[in-house]
A and B are shown apart, each in its own frame.
Chain A
């Protein structure tokens, strides 16, 4: 297993367009997290899944954001009607719920630039 994989690595889009990112977690991990990181800041929690259930969403996740994990494996994060303020690094992480105090394993992120 090669770790958490995110695609694409970079995305440039025009304001108002929709974008979708994909995350493939480590195969035996049932928890999957999405974070957003802006320049000079730490990652901010957006949402997380346990298996296919979305268990928590941050207030940062506006109505324009939607995340899915349909079969409890990969996940997608869609941003509709992008705004310049959405420009950030979007990070995905995973771990196993059976280990209560496990660290999260992060992907390399998708850098979104809205022009």
Chain B
């Protein structure tokens, strides 16, 4: 069945460091891929998405490219800020599986000044 494997954390970075959080998926066909972010005490918010191969999603300085050949959707940011401290979830959905969303286990990011 469909699944998402996400880099385990926690991750601690200094402000302005480069961030990569790895995500790979297993699915038939062409799922849609998402990154969600959960700030402390808040609900899940969509960070970015990509709906077809080679699409790049981007938002708030974060980027991720849908790589069909490597079944990956790695999240990157060139210069993290303290305000980026949160838990990041990779997810997929697929019209063939009722559009339910499959999530990774989440990666906790702490950015220190």
Contact = CB atoms under 8 A, between A and B. Distances in A.
Given A97-B99, A101-B95, 13 more contacts: A41-B106, A42-B89, A42-B106, A43-B103, A44-B103, A45-B100, A48-B98, A56-B100, A91-B44, A101-B93, A103-B46, A104-B93, A106-B36
Contacts of A35: 101
A8 B1 CA distance: 33
A43 B32 CA distance: 17
Nearest to B50: A101
- Give me the 8 closest cross-chain CB pairs, A-B, nearest first: A42-B103, A108-B43, A106-B44, A101-B51, A101-B32, A103-B46, A106-B43, A45-B100
Interface of B: 4, 6, 32, 34, 36, 42-46, 49, 51, 89, 91, 93, 95, 98-106
Interface of A: 31, 33, 35, 40-45, 48, 55-56, 91, 93, 95, 97, 100-101, 103-109
Contacts of A104: 93, 101
Contacts of B102: 45
A51 to B, nearest CB: 14
A44 B106 CA distance: 12
Contacts of B44: 43, 91, 93, 106
A105 B43 CA distance: 10
B9 to A, nearest CB: 10
Contact of A40 (B4, B34, B49, B105): B105
Contacts of B36: 106
Contacts of B6: 42
